[in-house]
Structure 1
Amino acid sequence: MKIHNLPQDISSAGPTADNSIIIHAFNSARNVVREKTVLDCNAISLVIEGEKTMTFTETTVSPNDREIHILSAGRCIASVDISRQKTFRSILIFFDDKELADFFLQNAAFIEKAMRSAKVKPSAYVAFGKDEFINHYIDSLTLMLKNAAHLSLPMKRIKLQELLLYLLENHTRAFLAFKNRAQLGSTEMIIRKVVESNLVNNLGIDEMAFLCNLSASTFKRQFNRIYGESPNTWILAQKMQLAAQMLARQKEKPAEIWFKLGFETHSGFTKSFRKHFGVAPKDYKKRLTLED
């Protein structure tokens, strides 16, 4: 699986001292299935049309044209299903940590006051619902990109700070939750977030290791140290426990559960369940019904 580096792979300009902010119109009319992506700086995604799926360390999200999103520098696995939409269009604003730090410094008094009353959980990914201001903001960027061959750094900085300040003042709690990924925890915490947030997403060892910024061998070694079992053994056991819980709910049927838990086939799920519990899912459900 090819690794994509952003913004380098979609823009001729990379983040430098003179180009610490990049504003780029991104369009895609092709299916993208599980592309590994390394985001080398922070980014704001302003989706204009379509939807995509992105798996981060601690969560899987679906950016769409009803929201805008701030993403910390880091790693994700992204996919776009064009079969369900005509195209995917967005404007991406890339900015380095210094630009973010300068913004926080310029607005330190407001932020310090807000932090005293706002209890937030740090996150490398924050979403905001679109409103009239944000829609007009996206329109202004669209016109600027259409009419200008090159945007100066001062102009890009004004546009970035305009949006950041609006989000800070109008969506204070959510905005203050955004943190650089390097601040979000130790290697063990990152591994736990990746593994436990993606139990049903059917990620492979290589993909989970990628999200943790580890080699596959290091990931497996660290996993064994944390959980006391190999990744495949532990994850399968967790899926079986989830399956049992789902079967205990009368509305859940065995024919529906296998897909929700990320199994490739119904028969594969049934085989794993029988091996773990000694009975087929349908018989397990019947037994629960009789016990009730």
Structure 2
Amino acid sequence: MESSLKTAMTIFKLPEDIPMDDEKQAGAVIFYDYSAPVLSVNANCVLSMNAISLVLSGEKTMHFAEKRVDIKADKFHFLSSGNCLVSMKLNNTVAFKSILLFFDNAVLTNFYLKYHRTIEALKTGPVTPNEPYLAFKKDAFIVNYIASLQLMFQSNRPPSMEMKWLKFEELMLYLLETYPDQILAFQSTKTNEFDDFQLKKVVETNVGNPISVDELAFLCNVSASTFKRRFSRIYGSTPSRWLVQQRMNMARDLLHQPSEKPSDVFYKVGYENHSSFTQAFKQTFGITPKEFQQRQNRPVNSLTV
């Protein structure tokens, strides 16, 4: 069996589904002071705009098509518009808080055009935009920049569009001068549908993550039926069967290491709970993970999928 899967996905579109009044929502640059509830949250998100997340507290995990990112408060993050999966790990004392800055592709293009002379002077060589995600360590400038935004939020009046543009340009100019190659490599566009090579990269990057077949299709920006059809053509198997085989082989290899315990292994191979992992392992190998470890003196190839 596959790990606990969602039968229907709720998809959030950002920033549209964030509760904001019309005045805050309007415009090509949006600032939002975000605070999550104090509980664990899993969500499927479509970013209709690019975003910068200035994390203040808490942690969350984001799955992009070809990358898993653990987001913490010591960094701030650039996210390209497109599909992603979000898992927030919160506790009873630390809520996830972040200042979100949304901007569309036209804003980024206008910024590059406005400061093209600065960009040409800073470029160290040809740059091909190919990074949908960037992360930077907070420094003294960023800490003070965040403080200035918090003061802006404390005002009784919402910031004007001119002020939002000014704050966006302030941040971008600082980053452009500090990290020119990384900023210029930021990819602000996304293809509508992945080719077979990209689909394989998405699948094989996420095989050890607790992601369902429907969520893999979501990351590939295709319907579940299209994903399953293309998957079967590429791999000669259904996604569910192939994922179980790969995850069980990963689990078997991990359990040959004395330091690994079944209670720790299940999450490393894409399962969300120990019981479903144990059930799948026993169905595959005929014994439980614990029994398997007790028989480690047997050859590795004596148990295969």
Query: TM-score surpassing 0.5?
Result: yes
Q: What SS does the aligned partner of 1:155 have?
A: helix
Distance 2:263 2:40 in 1: 28
Report the equivalent of 1:208.
216
Distance 1:258 1:271 in 2: 11
Which deviates further from its counterpart, 223-232 or 236-245? 236-245
- Asked which structure has the greater RCO (Cα within 8 Å, sep 6+), the reply is 2
Q: What SS does the aligned partner of 1:213 have?
A: coil
**TM-score for the superposition, normalised by structure 2:** 0.82
Structure 2 CA distance for partners of 1:27 and 1:256, relative to 1, 3 Å: closer
Structure 2 contact 80–133 (Cα < 8 Å) conserved: yes
Does residue 1:129 correspond to 2:137, yes or no?
yes
Q: What SS does the aligned partner of 1:70 have?
A: strand
Structure 1 contact 254–281 (Cα < 8 Å) conserved: no
Report the equivalent of 2:199.
191
Does residue 1:286 correspond to 2:294, yes or no?
no
Report the equivalent of 1:166.
174
Q: How many residues align?
A: 289
Which deviates further from its counterpart, 147-156 or 70-79? 147-156
Letter in 2 for 1:12: D
Does residue 1:24 correspond to 2:32, yes or no?
yes
Report the equivalent of 2:66.
58
Structure 2 contact 256–293 (Cα < 8 Å) conserved: no
Report the equivalent of 1:106.
114
**Superposed displacement of residue 166, structure 1:** 1.2
Structure 2 CA distance for partners of 1:66 and 1:222, relative to 1, 3 Å: same
Structure 2 CA distance for partners of 1:54 and 1:287, relative to 1, 3 Å: same
**Structure 1: runs of 5+ lacking an equivalent:** none
Distance 2:243 2:178 in 1: 41
**Structure 2: runs of 5+ lacking an equivalent:** 1-8
Distance 1:114 1:187 in 2: 34
Q: How does 1:9-48 map to 2 (within 5 A)?
A: 9-10=17-18, 11-13=20-22, 19-48=27-56
**TM-score for the superposition, normalised by structure 1:** 0.85
Structure 1 contact 41–95 (Cα < 8 Å) conserved: yes
1:31-58 CA-partner distances (Å, limit 9, x unpaired): 2521121111001111112222222222
Report the equivalent of 1:80.
88
Distance 1:164 1:185 in 2: 30
Q: How does 1:139-158 map to 2 (within 5 A)?
A: 139-158=147-166
Which deviates further from its counterpart, 144-153 or 45-54? 144-153
Distance 1:283 1:30 in 2: 40
1:176-207 CA-partner distances (Å, limit 9, x unpaired): 33212415983434433432222122212222
Distance 1:23 1:121 in 2: 25
**More helix by percentage:** 1
1:13-71 CA-partner distances (Å, limit 9, x unpaired): 4999x711011111223325211211110011111122222222222222221111111
Does residue 1:95 correspond to 2:106, yes or no?
no
Of 222, 225, 231, 2:230 maps to 222
Distance 1:266 1:27 in 2: 31
**Superposed displacement of residue 144, structure 1:** 1.2
Q: Please, what is the CA RMSD of the aligned residues?
A: 3.0
Distance 2:239 2:278 in 1: 20
Q: What SS does the aligned partner of 2:112 have?
A: helix
**Superposed displacement of residue 281, structure 1:** 2.9
Q: What SS does the aligned partner of 1:86 have?
A: coil
Letter in 1 for 2:98: S
Letter in 1 for 2:33: A
